[in-house]
Chain A
Amino acid sequence: MDRLTLTDLAALLRDAAGSDEGMPLDEAALDTLFLDLGYDSLALLQVTGIVERDHDVALDEEALDEAQTPRAYLDLVNGAPDARSAA
C-alpha cells in the first residue's frame, strides 16, 4: 500500500473542506488538532472515505476518533493492514 504523506493529506483536506483560508498543513502543524487547523469531523469523514478506498485499507472507527492530529492520522493510516489482508 502506498504511504499517505502529509502533502497527500493536505491536498485531500483542501478538496474536502475547500479551505484556502485555514492554516497551512505543513510539518509545523503535525501535532495541531484538526479542529484548530479548521477541519471538522465532516471533512475528516470525507477524507477517510477516499483514503480507505484509494489505499484499500480498513481503518478502525474508534482509532479514527482518537486520531485528531495529522501525525496521529498518518500513523494510523500508514500502519493499517490492507483491507484485502485484514479479513
Chain B
Amino acid sequence: MTAPAPTTAPARTATAAVTGIGIAAPGGVGTETWWSAVLRGHRAIGPVTRFDASGYPAVLAGEVTGFEDAAHVPAKLLPQTDRVTRLALAAAAEAITGADIDPSALPEYGMGVVTANGAGGFEFGQRELQELWSKGSRYVGAFQSFAWFYAANSGQISIRHGLRGPSGVVVSEQAGGLDAMAQARRQLRKGGRAVLTGGFDATVCPWGFTAQLAAGGLSTRRDPADAYLPFSADASGHVVGEGGALLVVEDGDAAHARGARVLGTVEGCAATFDPAPGRGAPRLLDAARLALADAGVDAADVDVVFADAAGDRDADRAEAAVLTALFGPYGVPVTAPKSLCGRLGSGGSALDLAAALLALRDQVVPPGAPVGRLADDCPVDLVTGAPRPARLRHALVLARGRGGFNAAAVVRAPRA
C-alpha cells in the first residue's frame, strides 16, 4: 500500500490530532493504569526507594514502581540507556501501538520525534562520574558519550522505531512537554505526517536530588500527604517525580484518511519567557492568552485548567492571579493531578497534556491530592480527592519551567 501523495500547499493550518498516548509515571506504567490510579486519587508520592535519601533534606519522591526494564527495553539497549530513556522507550512503544500507526508505511521522512528533557541521563551520568573520580578516566564507559545526553530519548526512540523525519529535543524543564508539542505541530504545518512528542525526566538519584535541592523549591516535609500542596495555605514546596508521557500527533486530515482514532486536537500553543527578576512581571498570563487566541477560543470556552501547580506560596499566588484574570475567582474547574505524582520536570506538562486528553475523552475532571485549606489569595475551584464529571470541550494546560519558561496549550475533544 503506497502512502497518499503529499498535499501541494504547505499545510500551515494543519490540525494536530493526537492518535496515541504512552505513559510511564508515578501511579502507573501504561496509560489506562496511570489514569485509573489518578481517578482513584491514588497518591504515588512516598519515601524515596531508589537510593538512600535518609540524610537528605528532601526524602520524598514520586517514583515509577513496578517497571521491569527487560520487559520494555531490548537487551541490546540496556547497557546504554539511563532510566529516563528506558521509561521513554516504554511510553514510545505504547503510544505508537495505541495510534495503530506503522512508521514504515509512511513517507521515509514523514514521522519524526521531538521530546522534551531537561536533566538527561542523570543516574547513568552519576555512575560514570563516580568511576571517573574514584578510579580514573579509563573506567568511564563508551556509552556515557550519549547516555547522559538529553537528546538520547529522541535518538533512541528514533532508531528503534525508524522515525527518520525532522526530530529534536526541547529543553525548558516543566514547560518542555508543551513546548515539544508546539514544535511537533510546527513540523506538521511544514508538511510532516506525524510526530512522536512529549517529555520525560528522571532525576531520583543522589546527583539529581542534590541538583534539585540546590535549585530550590523542594518541600522538606516527611509526610507524603503533607509535602506537596498546590494552592494550599500550607504549601511548602513540591516533590520531585520521575516519568512522563509521549503522544503521537498527526496531521488531522491524514489521520482521518487512514481511519485513525483521534483522541483530541491541539488547538493552540504559546510560550513566553519571564523577564529577569526585578525587571518586570512574569508572563504566564501572556502565554495563556496567546494560546487561547491561537486556538481561536475565549476563556469562556475553556472547561478545565490543568495548572502548573508549583506548590510554592508565591508561585501559587501568581498562578491564581492568572486564573482569576482569565476566568474570575473560582471561575473554572482547576486540577493538578501532579500533586499525586510529583513534579516530573520535562515529563510534567506532557503528562498534563495526556491527562487533559483523557479527561476530554471520559468527560471527567481528574482530581489532585487533597490540599487542606486553600490559601486566601488562591480563589481557585480546585478539584481534589474525587473526580468530577463535567461537560468538557476545551482544556487549557499551563506550565512554568525553572528559569522563566512559560507555556500554555489548548486541547479540544474530538469533533463528534
Q: What is the interface of chain B, defined by CB distance below 8 A to chain A?
A: 74-80, 138-143
Assess whether B79 is in contact with A49, with CB atoms less than 8 Å apart.
no
Evaluate contact between B139 and A18: CB separation under 8 angstroms: no
- A38 CB within 8 Å of chain B: yes
Q: Is the CB of A19 within 8 A of B76?
A: yes
- A8 in the interface (beta carbon within 8 A): no
Measured in the bound complex, the distance between the Cα atoms of B75 and A70 in whole Å is: 21
Interface residues contributed by chain A, number (CB under 8 Å)? 16
Q: Is A15 an interface residue (CB 8 A)?
A: yes
Contact A46 B75 (CB under 8 A): no
**Residue from B78, B140, B141, B142 within 8 A of A18 (CB atoms):** B78
Q: Tell me how far the C-beta of A55 lies from the nearest C-beta in chain B, rounded to whole angstroms.
A: 11
13 contacts between A and B (CB under 8 A): A15-B79, A18-B75, A18-B78, A21-B76, A38-B76, A42-B142, A42-B143, A45-B142, A46-B79, A46-B143, A49-B138, A49-B142, A53-B139
Most A-side CB within 10 Å, residue of B79, B80, B140 = B79
**In the complex the two chains form, what is the Cα distance from A8 to B109 in whole Å?**
41
Chain B residues whose CB sits within 8 angstroms of the CB of A22 once the complex forms: 76
Question: Is A20 interfacial (CB-CB < 8 Å)?
Answer: yes
Contacting B at CB under 8 A, from A1-60, are 15-22, 38, 42, 45-46, 49-50, 52-53
Closest 4 CB pairs of A and B: A46-B142, A45-B142, A53-B138, A18-B75
Q: Which residue of A lies closest to B141 (CB)?
A: A46
Cα of A17 to Cα of B80 in the assembled complex, Å: 8
Chain A residue with Cβ nearest B81: A18
A52:B138 contact, CB within 8 angstroms: yes
B residues within 8 A CB of A20? Answer: 75
A19 to B78, CA, bound (A): 9
Nearest Cβ on chain B to A67's Cβ, whole angstroms: 16
Whether A18 lies near B143 (C-beta < 8 A) is no
- CB-CB under 8 A from A49, the residues of chain B are 138, 140-142
Given contacts A17-B79, A18-B75, 7 further A-B contacts (CB under 8 A): A18-B77, A18-B79, A21-B75, A21-B76, A42-B142, A46-B141, A52-B138
Interchain nearest-CB distance for B325 vs A (Å): 52
Q: In the complex, which residues of chain B have a beta carbon less than 8 angstroms from the beta carbon of A42?
A: 80, 142-143
Nearest CB of chain B from residue A69's CB, rounded to whole Å: 20
Chain A residues within an 8 Å CB radius of B142: 42, 45-46, 49
